[in-house]
Structures are given as structure tokens and as C-alpha cells.
């Protein structure tokens, strides 16, 4: 019996070891204690102003980009304080990581940053395609709401029930002041 158990555990170890060594990235679920505190991660909506391979070497998968932050969805970051962020990220090479595609110049993105200067390569379970950098169609993209819902579900399950799309404009806008008589 002991020999069979030893064989099973050693076989599992041999089979799983390459996955652990190959991956090399962590997982971010959004509900980790203190993950979104000062000095931790933050999730933003931003526009890509510039993007280029580091030292012109695309084969290594290292890129730098200038992001114009529009909004913070999680974490401690004030987009009004920083008009742009110079960030680096790795895309798919030389090892499998969460970022699968390099966004184009002008694209609107959801980005999980670890500090103000790098996009994490962690597997982000709350993000679309589990990627730390995703091109979206703007703030009204359903993936923005879904990302917020997944973060709420992980952090505060009873409060996760939010509408799956932005409300349509209605008559509750500020009305212009009538002219004085």
C-alpha cells in the first residue's frame, strides 16, 4: 500500500512540475488581503498613447507603453493626478503569461498594474480571458461591468448583484436653468 501511494504521489509530482516551472506567473483573484491597498495592484481603464517593443526586440515579448488613465475600477490610484503612465509588460513570449496580444496605439484597455510602471503578467481570474491587459470598446463595453461584478463577487458576494449594462440615459439629467425674466 505504501509503495502504491509513493508511486502515485511521485508520478503526480513529475507530471505537475513542468506546469509549475513553465508558467512562472502567479494568480490574482481580486480577493487577496491587501491586494488593492496602497502600493499594491490597481485596475484602470486607459487609452494606449504609444506602444513599442523594448529595444526593438519583439521576439523576447517585452514592451513599453504610454497609457492615459481615465478611471480606476479597483485599487488606490488617482487618474486625475497622473496624466500618463509609462509602463512595461510582457506579451506571451518567452513563457506563457496572461497577456496574449499587444494593444494597438489608440486602443482603450483594461489594465491591472502592479505599481505605476508595469502591467502584471499574473493570471487575473476576474479579467476577460484572465488577461491583465485587455482591449475593450470603451467604458460601456459589457466586459467592464462583468469585471466589476467578478471583483465584487470575490470580495463581497452579497453585493455582487449589479446590472449587466450601464443604465440608459433618462430624464434625471441636470436640466438647464430657465432664463431670468
Spatial distance between the Cα atoms of 156 and 149, rounded to a whole number of angstroms = 10
Q: What local confidence, expressed as pLDDT, does residue 103 receive?
A: 94
Residue that is written with C-alpha cell 481615465 in the block = 70
Residue that is written with C-alpha cell 493570471 in the block = 123
The rounded mean pLDDT for the chain is: 78
pLDDT tens-digit readout, 96-123: 678 888 999 999 999 999 988 999 988 9
pLDDT tens-digit readout, 159-179: 666 555 555 555 555 556 667
Question: How many CA within 13 A on the CB side of residue 58?
Answer: 4
Fold classified for 27-155: OB fold (Dihydrolipoamide Acetyltransferase, E2P) (2.40.50)
Q: What local confidence, expressed as pLDDT, does residue 135 receive?
A: 96
Residue that is written with C-alpha cell 439629467 in the block = 173
- What are the extents of the domains in the chain? 27-155
- Which candidate, 106, 131, 126, 101, places its Cα nearest to that of 25? 131
Q: What local confidence, expressed as pLDDT, does residue 175 receive?
A: 59
Q: What local confidence, expressed as pLDDT, does residue 64 receive?
A: 93
**Contacts of residue 153, Cβ cutoff 8 Å, sequence gap at least 6:** 160
DSSP letter at 108 equals: E
Q: Which residues of the chain have pLDDT under 50?
A: 5, 7-24
Amino acid at each position: 500500500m505504501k509503495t502504491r501511494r509513493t508511486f502515485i504521489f511521485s508520478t503526480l509530482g513529475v507530471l505537475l512540475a513542468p506546469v509549475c516551472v513553465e508558467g512562472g506567473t502567479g494568480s490574482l483573484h481580486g480577493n487577496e488581503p491587501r491586494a488593492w491597498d496602497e502600493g499594491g495592484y490597481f485596475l484602470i481603464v486607459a487609452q494606449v498613447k504609444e506602444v513599442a517593443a523594448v529595444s526593438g526586440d519583439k521576439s523576447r515579448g517585452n514592451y513599453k507603453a504610454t497609457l492615459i488613465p481615465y478611471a480606476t475600477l479597483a485599487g488606490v490610484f488617482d487618474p486625475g493626478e497622473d496624466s500618463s503612465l509609462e509602463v512595461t509588460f510582457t506579451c506571451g513570449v518567452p513563457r506563457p503569461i496572461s497577456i496574449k496580444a499587444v494593444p494597438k496605439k489608440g486602443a482603450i484597455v483594461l489594465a491591472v498594474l502592479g505599481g505605476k510602471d508595469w502591467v502584471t503578467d499574473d493570471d487575473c481570474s476576474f479579467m476577460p480571458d484572465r488577461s491583465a491587459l485587455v482591449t475593450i470598446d470603451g467604458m460601456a463595453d459589457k466586459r467592464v461591468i462583468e469585471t466589476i461584478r467578478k471583483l465584487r463577487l470575490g470580495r463581497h458576494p452579497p453585493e455582487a448583484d449589479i446590472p449587466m449594462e450601464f443604465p440608459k440615459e433618462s430624464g434625471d439629467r441636470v436640466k438647464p436653468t430657465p432664463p431670468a425674466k
